[in-house]
Amino acid sequence: MSSPGLVILTGPQDFEVTVSFALTAVMVAGQIVPGTIQAFGPFVPTSPTVQIPITEVWHIVDVYAVGGPVGPDANIQIFLNGYQQQINPKLSSVNLNLITRFQLGQSVVFSPASTIAISIVLLAAPTASVTQLLTLKAIKSPYTG
């Protein structure tokens, strides 16, 4: 099987990034749980931090969970180049099924070669081991300088 060549965008593309959080019953309220990001498709290993390709700019335009929290509620933290952004919605407020769910006021922009990481801060201790999924809807565009 040959490896794919470099793919360079010719225009903006919508895509979704899945972030998973492994919660266990031994965790406590206030504990920070780093997410595992699946940013480049099912055949690329997941990572807690993803570097944006140098040929692309990413705009995170939405953050949601289908069905809300499966474990305890938590605050979501988005990190750009290791710096926490001032966006801290609760998992319970980003449930895709809510009519008045949390919406980003504007996109969070990740320039070429910047890094993205997502964490949650537990608001209560989990009572069982579960995996919480979060989806980031994004637009990636070619970097034009």
pLDDT score of 129 more than 90:
yes
pLDDT score of 2 more than 50:
no
| CATH code at 13-142 | 2.60.120
pLDDT in tens, 65-95: 988 788 899 999 999 999 999 989 999 999 9
The Cα–Cα gap between 32 and 91 comes to 14
The Cα–Cα gap between 56 and 106 comes to 19
Q: Are 88 and 75 in contact (CB under 8 A)?
A: yes
For residue 20 the two structure tokens come to 């998973």
pLDDT score of 125 more than 90:
yes
The confidence score (pLDDT) of residue 33 equals: 97
| Domain chopping of the chain, boundaries | 13-142
The confidence score (pLDDT) of residue 3 equals: 47
SS3 content of the chain, % helix, strand, coil (to 5): 0, 45, 50
